[in-house]
Each structure stands twice: as structure tokens, then as C-alpha cells.
Structure 1
Amino acid sequence: MVSLLANIGIMFMAVYFCLKSGRLEKNYHHANKSSLIGCILMEVLLGTILLSFSTVILGIRYDFRVLLFCFSAKYMDWRITSSSIFLLSIIRFLWGNSEAAQVNLIVSLMLAIALPMIVELIRDRINDLAQLLILVTVALIPTIVFTNHQIADKWLVLSISIILSALNYAAIFVLHYFISDLHVLIDSASTDHLTNLKNVRLFNSDLVEMERKKSPVTVAVIDIDHFKNYNDNYGHDSGDAVLRQMAALFNERAIPHTTFYRIGGEEFGVILSHFSPSAAEAFLHELQETVSRRSFTVRGENPVSITLSVGVAHSEKGETLKKTLKRADIALYQAKESGRNKVMVSA
């Protein structure tokens, strides 16, 4: 019982690790080399702890390493999964060089290849829970076959197989719905509920992350010109409708490496990475002009025209992104003071 509880606790640690490393985010992009190495080492550490809490029956170790491999294959980069499985198989071999350890080494090498391949085959074809159930079924087969080979008492083999499968499937269900609930909580905490854009909390968090990575970025602050007039003339419901339509237009015009946020009442933020300054400015000019040509609907079918003022700042070497954002705010103020409906770039 102690081993089982320890295994369950370690798997929840693995989910927490996934969350902190960003793998549970729906828009996760592949990590850099240092992050990959860190993830491999962490997964190997968790697998080693699982190994230390194994339940040993007639020389065969039973634990949730299979479950760790399946969640890794589903949520991690294949390089993390395959490397971790291989390193853990070496550790298991050195743990005790028995027939079970030798078989484990061969099976682990097979899983290191097979699990990422299976994920690629079934990805986007079935839901996440079904994917995990398929992965754990495939991963359990070698253990059950080896148990049948090693243990003469077939009733004991059947009992072990049923218990092993039931525990892994039950853990899959619990962890899957735990992850699903985490997604809901993360989305709720990071999304503006009116526009469904990312909110100011995530805007600030992403700026901190960009600064940590020392990534060159362009930061823009966008303000709807004379927005108070729409609220005064048509009512707050119409003002909210304008904000929702504006957010929809931003999503429509978004391209890779552009992220939009609602950071205030009628104020929006944009982070552009992997752009040259000229390309970022061209994108923002096009966005501002697109909005000025578009008709928006308020109070039923009344069409209105909307313009934007945009302040832009490119990050500079040695400058904090908080300072870059401040320069974008100053540029926005200058755009408003000089007539609005324009893009102003910080000098």
C-alpha cells in the first residue's frame, strides 16, 4: 500500500512538472536544448524514484514507470521521452542485473521507439483520454507477457495482470481529468472573459518570460479612439460588442509569433517575437489600416467606424521589457496627442 501511494504521489509530481515546464499548455512550442536536457533529467529522476518504490513479486518489479512513459509520450517532446526511457532502462539494468533487468532493457528500447511513433499515428484522430488508454495498453503488454513467462501459477499471473491493468487505467482516468481541470483553471486565470483574449496577467508574465530568454521582441499598445463615445451614445452593451468584434478581428489577423492581449478597458497589448523591427511595424500599420476600413456593429445593426492609436517599441540590448513597455505607452500617448488613428514608434 505504501508503494502504491508513493507511486501515485510521484505521478502527481510528474503532472506538476509538466505544468511548470509548459507542456500542458495548448499552445506549447518545442523547447530549446537546455530545457530539453532539464526535462530529461527531471523525468529520469522521477522514474528512478518510482523504481525505488517498486513492488517486487518473484523478482519482477511493478510500479508506475509505464504510466510515466505514456504521459511523457503524450505531452513531452519525443526526444525527452525516448532519452528518458533509455536512461531509465540503463539504471534499472544496473539496479540488479537479473533476467528481469535484461528483458526490461530490451522492452524499454522498444518502447522508446514505439510510444512516440504511436502518438504521431493517433494524434488528432481520437481524444486525449483514448490516446492515453491506447499507450498504456501497448506499454503494459510486455510486462504481462514476461510475468506469464516467469510465474508458473497462472492464477497468480491473471491476478497480477488484472490488478496491474486496473491500477494503471484508474490512474490514467484520474490524472487525465486532473489535467483537464488544470486546463480549465489555467484558461480561466489567463483569459479575459469578455473578449477571450489573453489577459493583462498573462501579458506581464509573458514579458517576464521573454526577458528571461533574452528574446528580442516588439511590444505594442493599442487603444480604441474615443471609445467612451460608443458607451455614451449606444450603451455599455454596445461597447462590449465592439470589444468582442475587435478581439475577433485581432484573432483573424494574427500570424505566427504574434500574441494579442486585453490589458485594460479599451486597451490591448501585442507581443511580436521573431520579427525584424520593420516587419513588426509593417504588421501593425496593416492592422491599424484594416480596422479603419472595417465596419463594426452596435445596438442591433447600426454600423460604426472605429480607428486605433498604436504605440510601438522595439526591445533594446540591456533594456528590461518593463522599460520597453513604458516606451510603447509613451508612443501611444504621442499618437493620441498628434491626432489619433496612427501608429507611433518609440524613438
Structure 2
Amino acid sequence: MLTLLNSLLLNFSLLIATLLFAFLPLRRIERISPNSSLQVRLVIGCIAGVIGALLIFNSISYDVAKIDLRLVALVTAYFYGGLVSGSITMLFIIGARFAVTPAGEYQGLILTTLICVALLVTATIYRRFAAQRMKDYLVLLGTGIAYSLPALYLLTNTFERFLEIALVYIIVIMIGGYVTYRFLQELRKHFLFVHTQQELALTDGLTQLGNRRKLDETLAEYAQNGTVFSVLILDLDHFKSINDTYGHEGGDVVLRQLSHLLQSYCPEQGVVGRYGGEEFVLLLPDVPLRQAERLGERIRSACADQHFVYKEHPVFHVTLSLGAASSDQASTVFETVQKADLALYEAKQTGRNRVVCYRDPLL
């Protein structure tokens, strides 16, 4: 029995190790369930199927029985991906069982197929009355064990051998299933935590827009992909006087209200971020300079017309100066930003509350 237990523990270690690496591609998906997209469910089925096949290839042979943790892979696939994922995993398991079955000894293969089909049918019925909780996961696992024990009895030579195997099999499968469920839940929490921290590192705390790091990373992606784009850099006019009049809290209110306005005007594929202080940037992929200029003019006009409100103070207005440039005017993405900044400086110097496009001094 000690040899059987050690072998199943090795099988369990293989299960956990493969789960860790195989589910990495799904780490950015917020929630995985039977209602996830078909593509996600297909991926889950293939991942769990490969794991199930690996477990069978490393199974322990007792008489003509193959002892392993394939049930955990099948139940996990169905639990997180529904019938689609479960069916794909079942096909992998049956294929692997066929591959390790000696010619003429197909009794175990037939029983494996019947167990998998019966488990998926039962799980489909049970799902109508259950939720995606650990209790339901363990119920499905227990159902699979209940279907497996008669088959295990038929494939062993003696009743004593059956009892020996069944006792260890039940314990290891239930413990393995519980640990697998908890492992996947904690893995999901970890991935969500890391994703949240990454988002926070790229987000301006005041306005919830992208910060300078986010903008720089986007520019680097544009450079790598050869994306043609335009840049709008905008700056609040006389922002110091706003802080002097309403205090820094009032200035923060203005920045937040402006950020909402910019988000509403930014195209779907565009990126809007706070560059620092009262300066904001819009990155506009596949937008020519003239179109960016028109967008800047709409933003400038909307900001000038907007009523800014802070506590009991009367409604007030603020204006923007904007500079625009296109990647066609520069040799690098960061040079494009520099030229938009030069255009913004010109807008400031020539009266504010206007949009200025960068012009090559030689033209």
C-alpha cells in the first residue's frame, strides 16, 4: 500500500505542476466559468485534457486497472468550462487510455469511456441545481469515484486487492481534488492581485487616467508595431490662479472633471493620460494630423463651455491650450511628443485657448 500511496502522490505532484504552467495563458481572464466564451472553454478543455493524458501515461498499473488522478482533471474541466470543456477532456482521456491499453485488453478502456460519459451526464443534470462552489466540485468528484469503484472491482483479481486499492484511491482522489480546487482559487486570486497592481502602476491616482508610464509604454508599442499616430498635448490655462482661488482641492476637482471630458472625447482605440501636473496627452493611432486638430478643437470648445463646480463657489470656466503633431513629422515616437509639446508652447505664447499644429520650420 505504501508503494501505491507514493505513486499516487507523484501523480498528484504532476497534476499540480502542470496546472500551474498550463493555466498561465488564462491568468488575465477575470472569471472562468461555464458561461465564459467558447474560445476560453475550448482552451480549458484542451489544457485539462493534456493534463489528464499525462496522468494516464504516468498511472500505476494494478492487474489490468490503471490508477491515477484523471478524475480530478475531468471534473475540473467540467466545473470551470462546462460540457464543452468536459467533453474535450474526456476525448483526451479516452485517447490516452487507448494508447496505454495492450492489444486485446480493452475492458479497461470500455469502462473508462462509460465512467466519463456517465460522469458528464450526471454533472450536467446536477448543474441545474448547483452553483460554482467547492461543495459542488467535491460532489462531482465523489460521483466520479462512485462510478469508478465498480469498474475498479471488475479489473482487480481479488477482493482484498480491491479494498487495498479503493481505500487509497478514495483518499488521494478526494484530497487531490480539494487541493486542486483550493490551488486554482488561490492562483486566480494571485493573478487578479498582480493584474490589479500592474493597473495601479499605470494609473494616475487623482484622475484614474493612464499615467506617464502608461503613455510611454503605449508609445513603445507604437514604435515596435510601426503604428502611425497623432498626439494632442493639452494644458490648462492659468491653472495656478485656479489653485490660488479655490485651493489645491478645487484644482483637483477641475483636473478630475477635465479627465472625464477627455475620456468622453477620446476615440475607442486612443489613449488618454495625465502627463504631469495640469498637462494631459491623447495618443491617437491611425488618426491623421488634420483629424487630430479637429478633435482638439472640439475638446477645447467643450472645455470652454463646461460649467466647473466646486462646493459653494459660483460656476466658473477654464480654458485649454493644445499642441498637435503627427508621427509622419518625426523619426521616433518620442520626437513626435516633443514636437506636439513645441506646438503647445506656441499656443501658450500666442494667446492661449487655441489649438496649434506643429509645422516644420523649413516649410
Report TM bin, short chain.
Answer: 0.5 to 0.7
Trace 1:159-170 onto structure 2 (pairs within 5 A): 159=171, 161-170=173-182
Residue 259 of structure 2: aligned partner: 247
Structure 1 residue 305: deviation in Å? 0.8
Q: What's the TM-score once normalised by structure 2's chain length?
A: 0.65
Hey, what's the Cα distance between the residues in 2 that align with 1:253 and 1:195?
Answer: 15
Does structure 2 conserve the Cα–Cα contact (< 8 Å) formed by 1:221 and 1:312?
yes
Hey, what's the Cα distance between the residues in 2 that align with 1:13 and 1:86?
Answer: 21
Residue 62 of structure 1: aligned partner: 69
Residue 319 of structure 2: aligned partner: 307
Structure 1 residues 94, 251: CA separation in 2 closer, same or farther (over 3 Å shift)? farther
Residue 232 of structure 2: aligned partner: 220
Does structure 2 conserve the Cα–Cα contact (< 8 Å) formed by 1:311 and 1:331?
yes
Gaps of 5+ in 2: 1-8, 32-38, 121-126, 154-161
Does structure 1 conserve the Cα–Cα contact (< 8 Å) formed by 2:232 and 2:281?
yes
Hey, what's the Cα distance between the residues in 1 that align with 2:228 and 2:150?
Answer: 58
Hey, what's the Cα distance between the residues in 2 that align with 1:305 and 1:277?
Answer: 28
Residue 190 of structure 1: aligned partner: 202
Hey, what's the Cα distance between the residues in 2 that align with 1:158 and 1:132?
Answer: 21
Hey, what's the Cα distance between the residues in 2 that align with 1:69 and 1:323?
Answer: 50
AA paired with 1:270?
L
Correspondent of 2:270 among 249, 258, 261 = 258
Structure 1 residue 101: deviation in Å? 11
Question: Whose Rg is larger?
Answer: 2
| RMSD after superposition | 4.8
SS of the residue corresponding to residue 198 of structure 1 reads coil
Structure 1 residues 23, 228: CA separation in 2 closer, same or farther (over 3 Å shift)? same
Residue 152 of structure 2: aligned partner: 151
SS of the residue corresponding to residue 316 of structure 1 reads helix
Q: What's the TM-score once normalised by structure 1's chain length?
A: 0.67
Trace 1:45-84 onto structure 2 (pairs within 5 A): 52=54, 56-57=59-60, 58-62=65-69
Structure 1 residue 211: deviation in Å? 2.2
Structure 1 residues 305, 323: CA separation in 2 closer, same or farther (over 3 Å shift)? same
Structure 1 residue 17: deviation in Å? 4.8
Correspondent of 2:185 among 169, 173, 195 = 173
Hey, what's the Cα distance between the residues in 2 that align with 1:211 and 1:135?
Answer: 49
Hey, what's the Cα distance between the residues in 2 that align with 1:141 and 1:100?
Answer: 21
Structure 1 residues 258, 56: CA separation in 2 closer, same or farther (over 3 Å shift)? same
Structure 1 residue 51: deviation in Å? 5.8
Hey, what's the Cα distance between the residues in 1 that align with 2:231 and 2:332?
Answer: 12
Structure 1 residues 258, 66: CA separation in 2 closer, same or farther (over 3 Å shift)? farther
Does structure 1 conserve the Cα–Cα contact (< 8 Å) formed by 2:75 and 2:141?
no
Gaps of 5+ in 1: 26-35, 75-80, 112-117, 119-129
Does structure 2 conserve the Cα–Cα contact (< 8 Å) formed by 1:133 and 1:172?
no
Q: Calculate percent identity across the aligned residue pairs.
A: 25
AA paired with 1:219?
V
